[in-house]
Structure 1
Amino acid sequence: MKEIEAWYDTKYDEWTRLERHKIEFDITKRYLDDYLQGENLEVFDIGGGPGRYSLYLAEKGHRVSLLDLSKRNIEVAKEKSFEIGIQLNDYIHGNALELDYLDKTYDVILLMGPLYHLVKESDRRTAVEGALKLLKPNGIIVASFISNYAPLQDYLSKVSPIESVDRILGYLENGKNKTLEGFTTAYFTDYMGARTFMKSFELTELVFAGVENILCCKEKEINSLEDSEYKKWIEIGYYLSRDENVIGTSQHFLYIGRK
């Protein structure tokens, strides 16, 4: 955990990541718009980084609390809140595996970061179980996973030199990213594994989506389009995101369920 915290504190700018990966951001927001129904919802964003989604939902009038492992991410969230004039309910420096001290319940919980940094399945299970204890009956949980094909897709998008074929293909075997191999400690999964994992909890699946699906191979080109053309591709991507034939082509998977 200390290594992951240090990565985000000193080596990685999570705020600008979603400026580079607009397709992921915009299609995910579309799902939040579609499935978070109601006004003034109590939302807890666990592992929400610098609060991109927290601030988006707060702008819509929801009461949002943010928790993240990185002190720097929490600081950035406060800075960005001040810049846009939107205040979150709380900014918590904390651990997704240590939520027992919290005694409030929420209408919506976002778990869109922790599950792909927890290599042990027992830890991933602890994170989901801890989140569900804080979720009201009939509440909504939103969880994200990174595909074990994502490292290969990154190399392919740039046709980067490959130092080790075995290392890239190794992600398909165990999904584990070792410390400082282009990223911090992480766990990647195929979509069937992620979906099966979430089905093991007492939840009703509302949607399981491959966020970027086939658009990720042309991300740079799509991002550079003028707005009206860009929106057409987002519409296509959103439509394809639940197509079982292409879900596995995504770099990120999105689960939405009801308790």
Structure 2
Amino acid sequence: MSINGKELDEIYQRQYAGGFEEGRLTYTKANETEFILTMHYIHKFIKEGAKVIDIGAGCGAYTKALSEEGYFVDTIDFHEDNVSRMKELFKESENVNVYQGNAIDLHKFPDDSYDLVLLMGPVYHLHKFEDRVAAIKEAARVAKKGAPIFVAFVLQDAPLIEYIFQSENPAEEINEIGYIRETAQVTENTGSSIFLHAIATIDELTDKVCESIPVTKGPRFAQDGLSQVIREAVNNMSEASYNEWIQYLIATAERPDLMGYSNHVVQTFIKK
């Protein structure tokens, strides 16, 4: 059931071909909650005149929002299609630079340069523990002292519920992945019809980061909460009801007892 790095790269290239990422955060209300919650937390940290680096930017949803607010953004992605699309989207922008690059190696970018660092996709696409640490280390290296670093994760349970247990045949799907029934732990997730980018727990990784990199932990928050678990209800909400849902997500974003239901979770770090 194991999969090697080359095969993972091929899956990644297929999954994000054609600018797949461009509409992911906006095409339904349930999907949009991830963007809204993240921007809420970004606005808690960002300061006037901040210089931002968006690592693993996809097609630049956060780059677009922050550049339109007047911030200068260096935006980077690994996938050629995403880079090409961003170059088209931001060709008229005077405060966005688009690069193709790898989150593990940002040698083109100098130390202590950015007031806000976004690492919103790379860590849960990296399969090896040491690569995840390396990506966060690079993000911290380019951050200024005191700067926040937003690192996104996909925990295993919400995708397991959404893509496996809400599929047409969960029993068949679950036999195609590595799964320990006694602990409900996904050990290998590349065999299902939907590839699950998932991490069972982030505590081991975040503790290692704080031991080996000059950062401290900031808030950990759920980006979309229960939105995908009850996505049909969320997508059918009136504007007033949806606003109440967003307020609920903001109010509960840091509650540990709800964290695992969220498809996406951000751990913030602060550069020492």
State TM-score, norm by structure 1.
Answer: 0.86
Alignment CA distance shift 1:42-1:175 (3 Å): farther
Matched, 1:258 2:270: yes
Q: 1:168 Cα shift?
A: 5.1
Give unpaired runs (5+ residues) of structure 2.
1-5
User: How far is the alpha carbon of 1:173 from its aligned partner?
Assistant: 3.6
1:77 deviates by: 1.9
Deviates more, 1:249-258 or 1:109-118: 249-258
Distance across 2 between alignment mates of 1:144 and 1:69? 16
Residue 59 of structure 2 contacts residue 82 of structure 2 at CA under 8 Å; is this kept in 1?
yes
Letter in 1 for 2:122: P
Distance in 2, Cα, partners of 1:35 & 1:175:
35
CA distance in 1, matches of 2:185, 2:110: 39
Q: Structure 1 pair 248/199, CA: closer, same or farther in 2 (3 Å)?
A: farther
Deviation at 1:169, TM superposition (A): 6.3
1:28 aligns with 2:24: no
Structure 2 residue corresponding to 1:241, chosen from 246, 253, 259: 253
Question: Are positions 1:18 and 2:30 aligned together?
Answer: no
> In the alignment, which residue of structure 1 is the partner of 2:139?
131
Matched, 1:92 2:99: yes
Query: Which residue identity lines up with residue 228 of structure 1 in the other structure?
Result: A
Distance across 1 between alignment mates of 2:169 and 2:255? 32
* Structure 1 equivalent of residue 72 of structure 2: 63
Superimposed CA distance per residue, residues 161-200 of structure 1 (whole angstroms, 9 cap, x where no aligned partner): 222324456285455433885238x452335445445544
Report deviation, 1:59. 1.2
- 1:40-92, CA deviations, whole angstroms, 9 ceiling, x for partnerless residues? 2110001111000111111111100110001111222233335xx64443100
For the structure 1 residues 34 and 199, does the alpha-carbon distance in structure 2 shift closer, same or farther, using more than 3 Å as the test? same
SS in 2 for 1:23: helix
Does the alignment pair 1:205 with 2:217? Answer: yes
Residue 7 of structure 1 pairs with residue 18 of structure 2: no
2-side partners of 1:176 and 1:87: how far apart? 43
Residue in 2 aligned with 1:45? 54
Alignment RMSD: 2.6
Q: Is the 8 A contact 1:195 1:208 kept in 2?
A: no
Give the TM-score, by structure 2 length.
0.83
CA distance in 2, matches of 1:130, 1:89: 20
- Deviating more after overlay: 210-219 vs 237-246: 210-219
- Structure 1 regions of 5+ residues with no counterpart? none
Q: Give yes or no for the alignment of 1:188 onto 2:188.
A: no
Q: 2:163 aligns with which of 145, 155, 161?
A: 155
Secondary structure at 2:230 match in 1: helix
Matches within 5 A, 1:76-115: 76-81=85-90, 86-103=93-110, 105-115=113-123
1:122 aligned to which of 121, 124, 130: 130
Q: CA deviation at 1:225?
A: 1.8
| Distance in 1 between residues matched to 2:94 and 2:166, nearest whole Å | 39
Partners of 2:215 and 2:128 in 1: how far apart? 21
- 1:15-54 C-alpha deviation (Å, 9 max, x unpaired): 1111231111211111111222x11211000111100011
Q: Residue 239 of structure 1 aligns to which amino acid in structure 2?
A: A
Comparing 205-214 and 21-30, the one that deviates more: 205-214
- Find out whether 1:143 has 2:154 as its counterpart: no
Partner of 2:3 in structure 1? none
Matches of 1:14 and 1:92, distance apart in 2: 16
Aligned partners of 1:237, 1:90: CA distance in 2, in Å? 32
Mark the CA change 1:4 to 1:86 in structure 2 (over 3 Å): closer, same or farther: farther
More helix by share: 1
